[in-house]
């Protein structure tokens, strides 16, 4: 099915929504979702549907969809699985164009018959369906939260996930890390709308800068690669593949009923389509954060500036392991570093040791990027009692404004960096708590740069 823009806009910015299976009982999904829509601040009409209730959360409750005498753009279904195919039909008759089916109890629990019946209904109706067995969606732009998950804050990263629970856990985590989300889609069993459709929609979404994608298995590999590639040309996708190992793939099978393929196939597919592979859950946030701030790194020449040997060694190991380069400063830059005291190490990493006061950090950083040589930088700062991390952060922020290369930081000392972190955050310098996570974030920028360079050299039509 071709992407139906109208239906998709009904999912994310409907004028009205019916919640079929709305409940008045706190703790029930049918209550929590309605509550999220109401309390989230949705501006459209909200119609709870429940034959046994008069009113929920101050809203008039309808006995059935037919009782609503107005147009309904979107229906959210939370009723028992066997009732769902019939409800899809009713929605279609009512003229609803988009349906989110939260209800579980289909192929994921072995009920293939019911899922087949559902698919048949959808095919006959003129609707688009997200789910079943999903956690719903979020559009923070419209304060629209038809989901049982947390209402996270606004940002420019959108999150597409096959596993609803994982999505929910990640949203909660995003919230505790202060990371904003733009749109969230849990697509569950994907009987109609697949990851490919959502990716296509997000490609055109002006509010989404970076896409996080968690997949366990895709239904149509060829289409996935084509679409992901088209999307990647416009904005980065950070992808995590659940079920990479054989045993993991078995777990996927019993979980979503979808077939997770062999590791290599997925890795090649991701690579070909420009999807940046996250190797663990931290990567998902770390990569998308850095890619929401910087477009890419145009090469793999990285310089490390530090005041502490150990963390710089760890970063060097990680960057090297990831195939990035840490060349020594070329002579012209080396000359500009001559102001540094004898005991500072002027290789790469440049180690200021105890001479790493805010002023020296700034001057060194300026020198390192005074020539068009390094593609990106990692600034490590381990504050001590005699080094004010806030002052270091201020200087780095200032210098950073004059450098058009991506810079990430690793301010590393718990309590001692507490006040520096919000400053870096505000000024859009991504900070990571360990040298390894900072190194991996730089890798993501380099990987993105490689992809963009490759497609440019092919002068591929976008």
Residues between 40 and 69 that touch its own copies (CB under 8 A): none
For the chain, report the end-to-end CA distance as a whole number of angstroms: 21
Binding string, residues 111-150; x marks residues near its own copies by CB under 8 A:
-------------------------------------x-x
Q: How far apart are CA 159 and CA 72, in angstroms?
A: 26
Q: Which of 54, 206, 338, 342 binds its own copies (CB under 8 A)?
A: 342
Tokens 């002068």 belong to 459
Residues between 285 and 314 that touch its own copies (CB under 8 A): 307-314
Q: How far apart are CA 319 and CA 315, in angstroms?
A: 6
Task: Record the tokens describing residue 153, joined without a space.
Answer: 């804050």
Query: 3-state DSSP call for residue 306?
Result: strand
Q: Is 173 in the site for its own copies (CB under 8 A)?
A: yes
Q: How far apart are CA 371 and CA 1, in angstroms?
A: 51
Size of the site for its own copies (CB under 8 A): 78
CB of 29 to its own copies, least distance (A): 7
Q: Which of 64, 83, 143, 345 binds its own copies (CB under 8 A)?
A: 345
Number of Cβ atoms within 10 Å of the Cβ of 454? 11
CB of 27 to its own copies, least distance (A): 5
- Tell me the DSSP string of 340-369: S-TTSB-SSSEE-GGG--HHHHHHHHHHHT
CB of 174 to its own copies, least distance (A): 8
Q: Strand 98-101 relative to strand 210-215: parallel, antiparallel, unpaired?
A: unpaired
Q: Which stretch binds its own copies (CB under 8 A): 43-51, 292-300, 318-326, 358-366?
A: 318-326
Instruction: Give the distance between the most distant pair of CA atoms in the chain.
Output: 83
- Tell me the DSSP string of 9-28: HHHHS-SEEEEET--SSTTS
Task: Pick the closest to residue 377 from 427, 306, 293 (CA basis).
Answer: 306
Nearer to its own copies, 86 or 310 (CB): 310
Task: Record the tokens describing residue 458, joined without a space.
Answer: 């092919």
CB of 413 to its own copies, least distance (A): 4
Nearer to its own copies, 4 or 175 (CB): 175
Q: Is 157 in the site for its own copies (CB under 8 A)?
A: no
> From the CA atom positions of the chain, what is the Rg in Å?
25
Residues between 242 and 281 that touch its own copies (CB under 8 A): 242-248, 250-252, 254-256, 280-281
What backbone torsions phi and psi does residue 424 show, to the nearest 5 degrees? -60, -45
Residues between 20 and 39 that touch its own copies (CB under 8 A): 27-29, 32
Kindly state the DSSP code that residue 52 receives in the 8-state scheme. Answer: T
CB of 314 to its own copies, least distance (A): 6
CB of 433 to its own copies, least distance (A): 8
Q: Which stretch binds its own copies (CB under 8 A): 88-96, 121-129, 289-297, 411-419?
A: 411-419
Residues between 190 and 229 that touch its own copies (CB under 8 A): 214, 216
Residues between 367 and 386 that touch its own copies (CB under 8 A): 382, 384-386
Q: Is 431 in the site for its own copies (CB under 8 A)?
A: no
Residues between 79 and 118 that touch its own copies (CB under 8 A): 104-105, 108-110
CB of 176 to its own copies, least distance (A): 4
Q: Is 317 in the site for its own copies (CB under 8 A)?
A: yes
Kindly state the DSSP code that residue 161 receives in the 8-state scheme. Answer: E
Q: Is 436 in the site for its own copies (CB under 8 A)?
A: yes
Q: How far apart are CA 250 and CA 190, in angstroms?
A: 19
CB of 361 to its own copies, least distance (A): 15
Burial label for 59, CB within 10 Å (0-12, 13-18, 19+), is: middle
């Amino acid at each position: 099915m071709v992407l139906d823009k109208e239906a998709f806009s009904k999912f994310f910015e409907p004028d009205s929504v019916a919640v079929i299976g709305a409940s008045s009982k706190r703790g029930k999904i049918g209550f929590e979702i309605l509550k999220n829509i109401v309390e989230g601040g949705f501006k459209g009409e909200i119609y709870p549907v429940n034959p046994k209730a008069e009113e929920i959360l101050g809203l008039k409750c309808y006995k059935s969809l037919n009782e609503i005498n107005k147009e309904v753009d979107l229906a959210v279904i939370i009723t028992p699985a066997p009732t769902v195919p019939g409800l899809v039909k009713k929605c279609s008759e009512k003229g609803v164009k988009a349906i989110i089916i939260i209800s579980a109890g289909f192929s994921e629990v072995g009920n293939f018959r019911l899922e087949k019946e559902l698919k048949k209904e959808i095919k006959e109706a003129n609707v688009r369906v997200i789910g079943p067995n999903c956690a719903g969606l979020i559009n923070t732009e419209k304060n629209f939260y038809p989901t049982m998950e947390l209402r996270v804050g606004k940002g420019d990263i959108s999150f597409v996930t096959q596993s609803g629970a994982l999505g929910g856990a990640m949203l909660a985590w995003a919230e505790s890390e202060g990371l904003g989300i733009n749109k969230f889609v849990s697509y569950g069993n994907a009987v109609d709308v697949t990851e490919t459709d959502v990716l296509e929609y997000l490609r055109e979404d002006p509010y989404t800068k970076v896409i996080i994608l968690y997949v366990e298995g895709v239904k149509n590999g060829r289409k996935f690669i084509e679409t992901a590639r088209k999307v990647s040309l416009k904005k980065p996708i950070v992808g995590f593949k659940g079920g990479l190992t054989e045993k993991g793939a078995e777990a996927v099978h019993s979980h979503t009923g979808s077939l997770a393929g062999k590791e290599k196939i997925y890795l090649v597919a991701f690579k070909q389509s420009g999807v940046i592979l996250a190797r663990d859950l931290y990567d998902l946030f770390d990569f998308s954060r850095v890619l929401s701030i910087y477009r890419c790194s145009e090469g793999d020449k990285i310089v490390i500036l530090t005041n502490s040997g150990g963390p710089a060694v760890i970063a060097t190991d990680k960057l090297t392991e990831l195939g990035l380069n840490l060349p020594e400063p070329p002579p012209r830059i080396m000359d500009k570093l001559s102001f540094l005291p004898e005991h500072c190490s002027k290789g790469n990493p440049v180690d200021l040791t105890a001479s790493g006061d805010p002023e020296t950090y700034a001057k060194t950083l300026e020198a390192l990027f005074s020539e068009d040589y390094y593609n990106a930088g990692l600034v490590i700062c381990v504050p001590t009692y005699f080094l004010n991390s806030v002052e270091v952060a201020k200087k780095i922020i200032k210098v950073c404004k004059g450098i058009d290369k991506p810079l990430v930081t690793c301010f590393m000392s718990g309590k001692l960096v507490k006040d520096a972190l919000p400053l870096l955050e505000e000024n859009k310098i991504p900070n990571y708590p360990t040298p390894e996570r900072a190194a991996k974030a730089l890798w993501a920028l380099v990987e993105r740069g490689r992809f963009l360079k490759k497609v440019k050299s092919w002068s591929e039509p976008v």
